Structure 1
Amino acid sequence: MATVSPGDRKDLIGLIVSDHRAAERLFAELIAGAGDAQHRRDLADHLTTELVRHSVAEELYLYPAARRALPDGDQVADRGIEEHADIERILKDLEGVDPADRTFDELIGRLYVDVQDHVAQEEREVLPRVQDACDADELRELGELVARTNAAAPTRPHPSAPDTPPQDLVLAPGTGMIDKLRDALTGGDAR
């Protein structure tokens, strides 16, 4: 089985792994507790945006590829979608919590554990199998779609929104547009 690493890869696998590393860096800064309350709120909001965008990309492209290419693809995809829903519920709970409140750190801790478990399982089991099962051209095309989707993806958690095709394909761009409008009106604040 292949090993996954982002390197300079711009395909599906490389972009997903690169997103994982970016989230890890944001978590490291949040968990270190550095900065004032506004800085920590900004970091949490940025992390929320990145995790939501990443989830949308996986649900639109990685999981359908897994369903097509892997014998147990439905179970793999369903597990990932369930994990995303759990993560989005924590993100929703985190919205509006004052960083000075100890609940903020508790939620960040829960979120960290859930995201780390998801990333580890995905990089250890899912991504290598998808990489082996799909050809390089398909992975590159999916990577291009992920890059385009990131520009239109929602920036806020929507744990009750549909996360399986075809409903997610129809609603994600509109939800992203609404989120971006809300962000612009609130000064980019994802609360």
Structure 2
Amino acid sequence: MGHGGDVIAELTTDHREVDDLFKQFSDTPPGSEDRKRLVDALTIELVRHSAAEEEYLYPAVREHLEEGEALADKELADHARVEQLLDDLQQRAPDDLDFDRLAVKLRTEVTAHAEDEENNLFPQLRNGVHSYVLEELGNKVRQAKKTAPTRAHPSAPSTSPANKLLAPGLGMVDRVRDYLSGRGQ
């Protein structure tokens, strides 16, 4: 959950972990409970990652980059699509006909989003934001992931200040539900 380094290193490591979960999913037989377990793990990682980006990264993008407003809005739209797919997947059993189709669509969306961040947004941040700010953002993102929700909440706010106020409460409720159900363990 926390890897160290500046915000770019932290989020890039998250991307590689999600890639690994998608690979595990692909290597698992269709319809198996292991696929549901992997979708749960993907959901936990993606929601934590997204919440942290929405709380700290995208406000910094708006503040520090010339086209920051448009960049942040595009990233938030990507998150909204992913969040809806995660919510749709959580409503389905692994042997449901739509389960694998939704998982493939999720992988496509997430991969495109991560590639766009790594190839476009992160280089702009590296060139346009002081390394001290990137280190501080890395620390804030790591802290945010500790209290972030672990389930998709497509109707929850994704911009400040509402997301910073609600995310820890949603995260606490999600972690209690996860503990009681054994999800993600």
TM bracket, shorter-chain basis: over 0.9
**Counterpart check, 1:108 vs 2:90:** no
Alignment of 1:162-177 (within 5 A): 162-177=157-172
Alignment partner, residue 144 of structure 1: 139
Paired position in structure 2 for 1:48: 43
Q: Mind listing any 5+ residue stretches in structure 1 that lack a counterpart?
A: 1-7
Q: Are residues 1:133 and 2:128 paired? A: yes
Stretches of 4+ moved more than 3 A in 1? none
Contact 1:65 1:130 in 2 (8 A): no
Distance 1:9 1:151, change over 3 A: closer
Secondary structure of the structure 1 residue equivalent to 2:62? helix
| Cα root mean square deviation, aligned | 1.7
| Counterpart selection for 2:72 from 72, 77, 88 | 77
* Percentage of matched positions with identical amino acids: 41
Aligned partner of residue 109 in structure 2, secondary structure:
helix
Equivalent pairs, count: 183
Distance between the aligned counterparts of 1:91 and 1:188, measured in 2?
A: 15
TM-score under structure 1 normalisation?
A: 0.91
Tell me the residue number matched to 1:66: 61
Aligned: 1:13 with 2:5 = no
The aligned amino acid for 1:91 is L
Q: Which residue of 2 aligns with 1:159?
A: 154
Which residue of structure 1 lines up, in the alignment, with residue 85 of structure 2? 90
Matched, 1:32 2:27: yes
Asked if the contact 1:92–1:159 (Cα under 8 Å) also holds between the matched residues in 2, the reply is yes
Q: CA deviation at 1:39?
A: 1.4
- The residue aligned with 1:3 is none
